[in-house]
C-alpha cells in the first residue's frame, strides 16, 4: 500500500469515505503545459469509483473555457461547469454581495472579458472598486493608477493571495506578490475572494451537492488549499508536486489530513483504501 502520512488520526477508512473532491490544478494536476504523472488516471478513477470532482483554481488569468481545453488535451475530460476559478467567484461576489459596478482592473484581457460578461463596467476614472488579479499584462501605468485610487480609499478586492504561480520553468509572481507591492506603496490590503476564502468551498459544495464531511480539497499550497480546508471543515490533502516542500510542511501552522508526493500516490492509496473497506 502506498504510504500515507497521517495527521489528527486520519485513516484509510476516512480516505475511502470521501465522495467529493475539489481539485486544484496548477502544481497539482499539471505544471505549466506538462501534466503531472498519473493525473489523468487519478481523475478517471474518481469517476469510475462514483466520486464527483470539481476543478478549483485561483489562477484567473484565463477563463474556464481555456481550462476545459487544457485539461482535455491532457486526457482529463471536463465541462466548463466542472471548473471554478477565483475569477468566477470574484464576479459572483461583486454582483451579489456589493453595489460596486464600475471597477478599475489589474488583470488579463481574459479576466476583463469575464467581468464584462458578468455585467460590470471597466473604467479608468472614478471606480467603485479596484480589482486585482494575477495579471500577466501588468504595467507600471496600471500600478500607478491603482495606487492613486487606493490612497483615495476606494474599496479594494483581490481574486487570490497566491504569491507565485508554478510553471514548467519555475515560479513566477502571482496575485499575492502584486498585492504586496501595492501594500508597500499604499498601506492597503485587499479583501481576498478566492482560496482560502471558505466561500469558495461553499460554492463548490453547491455545485457538487456534497456535504463537508465527505469532501476533500486536494492541492499543493498550505496557505491557500490546506488553509481553506481547515477553515471549512473539509479534509485537506496536500501533494508535494507543486509549491510546498517537506521543509515547508514541517514548520507550517496548517496541518493537512493527508500528505502525498503527488496525485499518482494519492490514486494508489485511494484505490487500496477502497479495496480494504469493500
Give, as one character, the DSSP assignment of residue 224.
I
Which set of grid coordinates corresponds to residue 133?
488579479
Provide the pLDDT for residue 277. 86
The pTM assigned to this predicted structure is: 0.87
Provide the pLDDT for residue 7. 46
Give, as one character, the DSSP assignment of residue 197.
-
Provide the pLDDT for residue 5. 56
Provide the pLDDT for residue 105. 98
Locate cell 479608468: which residue? 124
Provide the pLDDT for residue 249. 86
Neighbours of 35 (CB within 10 A): 18
**CB contact at 8 A, 133 and 111:** yes
Classify residue 24 by burial, with Cβ atoms within 10 Å: 0-12, 13-18, 19+.
buried
**Regions in the chain scoring below 50 on pLDDT:** 1-3, 7-9
Q: What is the pLDDT of residues 17-75, one digit of tens each?
A: 999 999 999 899 999 889 999 999 999 999 999 999 999 999 898 889 999 999 999 99
Report the alpha-carbon distance of residue 30 to residue 73 in Å, rounded: 12
Does residue 12 have a cis bond before it (omega within 30 degrees)? no
Rg of the chain, C-alpha, whole Å:
19
Domain annotation for the chain: domains and CATH numbers: 5-58+195-277 (3.40.50.1000), 99-192 (3.40.50.1000)
**Angle ∠(143,144,145) on CA atoms, nearest 5:** 90
Q: 143: part of which helix (H) or strand (E)?
A: helix 140-151
Closest by Cα among 82, 80, 79, 100 to 91: 100
Locate cell 509572481: which residue? 173
Q: Which residues contact 52 (CB under 8 A, 6 or more apart)?
A: 19, 20, 21, 46, 208, 209, 210
Phi-psi map region of 252: left, alpha, beta (phi>0 left; psi -120 to 50 alpha): beta
Which set of grid coordinates corresponds to residue 65?
473555457
Amino acid at each position: 500500500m502506498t504510504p500515507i502520512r497521517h495527521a489528527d488520526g486520519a485513516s484509510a477508512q476516512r480516505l475511502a469515505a470521501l465522495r467529493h473532491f475539489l481539485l486544484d490544478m496548477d502544481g497539482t494536476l499539471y505544471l505549466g503545459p506538462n501534466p503531472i504523472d498519473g493525473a489523468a488516471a487519478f481523475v478517471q478513477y474518481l469517476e469510475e469509483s462514483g466520486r464527483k470532482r470539481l476543478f478549483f483554481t485561483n489562477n484567473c488569468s484565463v477563463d474556464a473555457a481555456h481550462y476545459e481545453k487544457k485539461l482535455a488535451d491532457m486526457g482529463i475530460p471536463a465541462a466548463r461547469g466542472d471548473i471554478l476559478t477565483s475569477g468566477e467567484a470574484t464576479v459572483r461576489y461583486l454582483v451579489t454581495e456589493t453595489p460596486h459596478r464600475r471597477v478599475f482592473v489589474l488583470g488579463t484581457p481574459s479576466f476583463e472579458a469575464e467581468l464584462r460578461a458578468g455585467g460590470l463596467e471597466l473604467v479608468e476614472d472614478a471606480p467603485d472598486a479596484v480589482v486585482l488579479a494575477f495579471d500577466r499584462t501588468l504595467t507600471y501605468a496600471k500600478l500607478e493608477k491603482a495606487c492613486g485610487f487606493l490612497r483615495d480609499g476606494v474599496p479594494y478586492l483581490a481574486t487570490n493571495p497566491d504569491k507565485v504561480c508554478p510553471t514548467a520553468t519555475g515560479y513566477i509572481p502571482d496575485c499575492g506578490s502584486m498585492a504586496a507591492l501595492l501594500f508597500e506603496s499604499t498601506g492597503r490590503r485587499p479583501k481576498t475572494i478566492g482560496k482560502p476564502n471558505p466561500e469558495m468551498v461553499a460554492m463548490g459544495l453547491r455545485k457538487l451537492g456534497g456535504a463537508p464531511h465527505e469532501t476533500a480539497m486536494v492541492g499543493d499550497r498550505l496557505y491557500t488549499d490546506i488553509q481553506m480546508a481547515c477553515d471549512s471543515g473539509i479534509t485537506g490533502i496536500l501533494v508535494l508536486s507543486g509549491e510546498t516542500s517537506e521543509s515547508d510542511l514541517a514548520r507550517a501552522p496548517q496541518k493537512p489530513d493527508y500528505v502525498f508526493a503527488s496525485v499518482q500516490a494519492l490514486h494508489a492509496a485511494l484505490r487500496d483504501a477502497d479495496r480494504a473497506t469493500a
